[in-house]
């Protein structure tokens, strides 16, 4: 089963996704953290997420090679947190949208329970700088690709998850 939680920043999507993935197994699910330690503010966000999930997960950090990491884990449900940060990492490491699509296609072909989290960046204005536009475009393409393949999709607003697929 593949499930997607999509919402704005600080919408509660991560907490909802964490609760959901825990219902898929009696053992600790895998928390695949995509965030790279870039600056102090990002380190604080990482710290808050670690406190939030306590010891309820097996945490693995992987910034780029999602498919390879997911393949290593046989029957454990996996939470990928978060695809938007992964898109950012891929752009930072000068990977193309085609590279991202190829990686996500490899992930989606795996017969595993995977819960994804992604930011909805589609409701804002078109950014004025190219890198931000590239991010919005890539994030939107990845969101659409993943959503198309997911069995369930939840839109999260103010901590409330509403099933939309």
Taking the alpha carbons at both ends of the chain, their separation in whole angstroms is 13
Per-position pLDDT tens, the chain of length 165: 999 999 999 999 999 999 999 999 888 999 999 987 667 777 777 677 677 766 889 889 899 999 999 999 988 999 999 999 999 999 999 999 999 999 999 999 999 999 999 999 988 888 889 999 999 999 999 999 999 999 999 999 999 999 999
pTM, to two decimals: 0.92
Q: Tell whether the torsion through CA atoms of 24, 48, 33 and 4 is positive or negative.
A: positive
Rounded to whole angstroms, the Cα distance separating 64 from 90 reads 7
Active site residue 49: yes
Is the domain defined by 2-163 classed in CATH 3.10.450.230? no
Catalytic residue among 49, 73, 93, 155: 49
For the chain, the domains span 2-163
Place of tokens 């670690």: 50
The token duo for 18 is: 């964490």
The answer for residues whose C-beta is within 8 angstroms of residue 42's C-beta and 6 or more apart is 35, 36
């Amino acid at each position: 089963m593949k499930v997607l939680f999509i919402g704005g920043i600080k919408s509660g999507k991560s907490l909802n996704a964490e609760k959901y993935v825990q219902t898929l197994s009696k053992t600790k699910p895998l928390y695949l953290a995509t965030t790279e330690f870039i600056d102090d503010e990002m380190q604080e966000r990482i710290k808050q997420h670690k406190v939030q999930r306590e010891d309820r997960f097996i945490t693995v950090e992987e910034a780029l090679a999602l498919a390879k990491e997911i393949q290593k884990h046989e029957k454990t449900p996996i939470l990928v947190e978060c695809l938007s940060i992964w898109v950012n990492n891929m752009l930072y490491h000068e990977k193309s949208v085609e590279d991202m699509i190829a990686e996500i296609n490899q992930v989606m072909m795996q017969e595993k329970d995977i819960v994804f989290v992604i930011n909805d960046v589609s409701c804002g204005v078109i950014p004025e700088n190219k890198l931000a536009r590239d991010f919005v475009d890539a994030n939107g393409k990845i969101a659409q690709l993943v959503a198309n393949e997911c069995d369930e999709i939840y839109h999260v607003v103010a901590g409330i998850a509403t099933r939309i697929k």
